[in-house]
Structure 1
Amino acid sequence: MSHTAHIRSHRKPRNRSASTIAMRAGVAGGVLSTLAVAGASASANAAEPVTQTLELPTLTADMATQVAQSAEATQQAAANYQLQAERDAAAAKAAKQAKADLAEAKKKEAEAQRKAEAARKKAAAASRSAERTVLSAASSAGTSTSTSTATGSAAAVIAFVKAQLGDAYVSGSTGPNSWDCSGLVQTAFKQIGVSLPRVSQDQSTAGTQVSLSNLQPGDILYWGGAGSAYHVAVYVGDGMFVGAQNPSSGVVEKPLSYDPPTGAVRVL
């Protein structure tokens, strides 16, 4: 036996029916047809771009009027804001200037008061110096500035003020245990029915002006100018006066040389 002898296969040959072959051919043809149509459609779509139309609202006359009015209102509001800003800026500037002017006015007023007080003190010092000279000359010449004994209403006034010696000095007080200078003088004269003003400035012009070289017991002494006095006391005779001097001294009796007065008035 030859080695190349044909050996018959045991595999059975595939028997394909005509109907099966035809069906498969139809399916293949249908797929190819579908692909062809899809390709053609894609080519057509690629060649012809799609256009979409948007419809915009029509601008009517009413809408145009509203737009114009809105724009005008916006412009007016902006103008109002600008005007208000300008007014605010002007007001702030005016307030700043007014503050500066007020500060300057206060500064000038304080300076004027300082100068006036300095002038007043200088004048008072000069007046005291002059009065010391007068009193000293009168004493050297043996001239008495008063009678030594008070009588009548003057004696009552003097007795009252001496009764208050040692009482406290309290600004604004009119007794019975504390006084200020004009409060003591006013109350002393009130005891004899004489009504005097309350403050030193007015008491210094309440009677007839008299010379310090011709004083009598019961005369009202004052320090400072007549009508602008800052202190008063009662002359009690023998070159002495009684007054509510200050918070540290209270009501005291002192010689005229201790603090020479500027002038005197007589009401009795």
Structure 2
Amino acid sequence: MDYLEFKIKCLEDFREILIAELAEIGFDSFLETEDGIDAYAPESEFDREAFDQLIDSYKEAAKINLTEGKMPKVNWNEEWEKNYDPIAVDDLVYVRASFHESQPGFRHEIVINPKMSFGTGHHATTFQMLRHQGELDHEGKRVLDVGSGTGILAIMAHLLGAREVEAFDIDDWCVDNGNENFDLNGLITRMGLGTIRQVNPQGPFDIVLANINKNVLLDEMKIYAGLLVSKGYLLLSGFYTQDVEDLVKAATSLGLKLIKSSDKDNWAALILQKD
């Protein structure tokens, strides 16, 4: 399958926003560059109209300059090895690929061999979710990771002492990659395939993690609340700071109260607790 390649020069503050928006319209791989991002979409699934509308909406604010090309199927692991740098979330965790050396001075280390930029810790939503996980007691807890992606949040829960971790994603490609990363980090659990309604996880859970997007979170919020134990925690991200009010309103109506919110690069994350 051939891929369309878009080299997008843009202001730095818009890189992660564009990655998130492009992922919503079918782009499945990204590389951050000095000037912006390289974005890739399967040619057979490319939606030209949606792409043009998206670029037009950000062109002026992000100062976008665009170059389009076509390339054969890419060895994404090879490309990531050229471009992927480790990240640190405070002294909590060092996230690296298998081709990087370990670093001292961190309480935990996660090895992620990514095939796209989501779920590596680089994105502001994942970074904040990891940080919030580090603020909660996971020892002996049951944890559910909804829309697990590379599996990084499930792995973090395991490292923080969770007794049981359940994870799933709607994309079979993510499930394969997630299970590879589980193996790298000593998890014996397997990632499931499907939506939360299809997988039908059996609660109760002490902690539910959901880093997806606003519309899915609002649609599934009642399910998350129903799966939590009393005083259990729901960690959410994947939405912009201007969406916090809508998410908190929906959560409050289901007996969840806001414990903490954070923001990074215009992306927000919440810790909520069930009554």
Q: Would you call these one fold, judging by a TM-score over 0.5?
A: no
- Judging by fraction of residues, say which structure has more helix: 1
Greater relative contact order: 1 or 2 (C-alpha under 8 angstroms, separation 6 or more)?
Answer: 1
Structure ID, larger Rg: 1
Greater share of strand residues, 1 or 2? 2
Q: What TM-score does the superposition give when structure 1 sets the normalisation length?
A: 0.22
Task: State TM-score, norm by structure 2.
Answer: 0.21
